[in-house]
Amino acid sequence: MKIAYLINQYPKVSHSFIRRELLAVEAQGVEVSRFSIRSLESELVDTADQQEYEKTRFILRVGIWGLLWNLFRVGFTHPWRLGQSGWLALKLGWGSERGVVLHGIYLAEACVLLHWLSQAKIEHLHVHFGTNSATVALLCQALGGPPYSFTVHGPEEFDKPGAIALPEKIKQAKFVVAISSFGKSQLFRWCNYQDWSKIQIVHCGVDPMFLDHPFVPLPSERRFVCVGRLSEQKGHLILVEAVSKLVEAGFEFKLVFVGDGPLRNEIEQLINRFGLENYIEITGWATNTQVQQYILSSQVFVLPSFAEGLPVVLMEALALSRPVISTYIAGIPELVEPGQNGWLVPAGSLEDLTLALKTALTTPLEDLATMGKLGAAKVAKDHNINIEAQKLTQLFKESCQAGKDVLY
C-alpha cells in the first residue's frame, strides 16, 4: 500500500503533530511519500523536522514554467479531464475568498501533483487541513488522480466553510478525519446526512518522548509556561493582563512564553507597559526537547485560546503530569476536566483567567501533582499516537481495497 501526504507547509515548527502521525503510519508498514506546496526551511530548528525536509517534495519549486508545462501535459494527454477539472476550479474559485485566478494556480499545482503521484504509484492521498491543500487534492482527483481524504483541525475551516468549499470537499472525499467530537459535530453541519458516515474521529497523538517520560516532580518555584505561536487566537495579550493583575495583588511568580509569531512585538510592548519584564519571558522558537524541558520546569501550563481545534501542546503538558489552564472552546473540554486535571475558563474573560491563575498559585504542590498525574493517565488512554495511527491506517486500507480508476 502506497500512501502520500499533502500539506500546504511541511515540515513546519507548529506541525510536529503531522510528523508524528506520518512516522507512526510508516511504522504500521505503510509506504508514505511526502508532498508540500511550499517550503519553510528557514524556520526549522528541530532535527526531526530537518530530516523530514529532506524527504519532502515541494510543488512550487517547479516554478512558473514547471506549472505551465504540467498543465500543458495533462491538457495534451487528457483534454477532457482537464476541461472538467478547469470548470470545477472555476466554480470553486467563483464563490471563494481566494478568487478564480488562484484556483487556476491550484489546478496547475494539481497537475504537478498528479505527475508525481503517478511516478510513485500512489493509491491514496491524505491531506492535513481543509483549506488550499485540500483544494489541490480535490482537483488532482478530478484530473484522474487517486482518492483523497483530509484531516480537519479547525478553527479556520469552521470560520469560513463556504469560502473554502468545505461541503464539496467532504462530498468528494473518501473519508474525512475530525480530531475531536466537537470537530465531528462541526463537519456534520457542513455536509449532507448521507455523508455523515465519512466523518471519522482520529485523535492527534502525543510523541513518546512526552507520553513515556518518567514522572518529574513539580518544581518548588511558582512558574507557568505557555507554548504556542504568538498569534491573536492564542490569547497571549489577555494572559499578560491577568499577570499584571496578580502582580498588583502581590503574587510572585514567573510566566514563560515559548514560541514566536506575528504578535510578538505587541506582547513585548504590553509587557513593558505593565512593567512585567521580571515576570514574563519570551524564548522564541524551541525544539521538541526544549519544549519538554520548559514544561517540566513549570508547575502549571496555561493556554487561554480564543479559537482552537484541540491543541496538541495541551496533551504534551498533561502527558508530563502538569495540570492545565485553558478555555471552554472547541475540543478542549474533551481533554481538560475542571477540578481533575486542570481549570477551564470562558474565553476572553480576564476576571476568570486571573482567578484560575490565582487558584493555581495557591494550590498546594502535592495537589497540583495529583492533578497532573490524572491528566497523564487521560492522555495515555486517548492520545497514544500508535493507536491513532492504527485507526488511520485501517481507513487507508479500506480506501485502497475499494480501488479507483486513476489515469496511471
Shared domain check, 46 and 124: yes
- What is the extent of the structural domain holding 224? 208-382
Domain count within the chain: 2
Q: The pTM is what?
A: 0.88
Domain assignment present for residue 407? The answer is no
> Whole-angstrom Cα distance, residue 6 to residue 337?
34
pLDDT values of the chain reduced to their tens digit, one per residue, 408 residues: 999 999 999 999 878 899 999 999 999 999 999 999 999 887 787 888 999 999 999 999 999 999 999 999 999 999 999 999 999 999 999 988 889 999 999 999 999 999 999 999 999 999 999 999 999 999 999 999 999 999 999 999 999 999 999 999 999 999 999 999 999 999 999 999 999 999 999 999 998 889 999 999 999 999 999 999 999 999 999 999 999 999 999 999 999 999 999 999 999 999 999 999 999 999 998 888 999 999 999 999 999 999 998 999 999 999 999 999 999 999 999 999 999 999 999 999 999 999 999 999 999 999 999 999 999 999 999 999 999 999 999 999 999 988 666 666
Shared domain check, 174 and 307: no
Shared domain check, 116 and 53: yes
- 299: which 3 cell numbers? 508547575
Shared domain check, 152 and 241: no
Residue-wise burial string across 200-222, b where 16 or more C-beta atoms lie within 10 A, e elsewhere: bebbbbbbeebbebeeeebeeeb
Domain assignment present for residue 362? The answer is yes
How many other CB atoms sit within 10 Å of the CB of residue 121?
A: 12
Shared domain check, 171 and 230: no
Shared domain check, 397 and 366: no
Q: Going edge to edge, which strands form the sheet with 324-327?
A: 280-282, 254-258, 223-227, 300-302, 324-327, 342-345
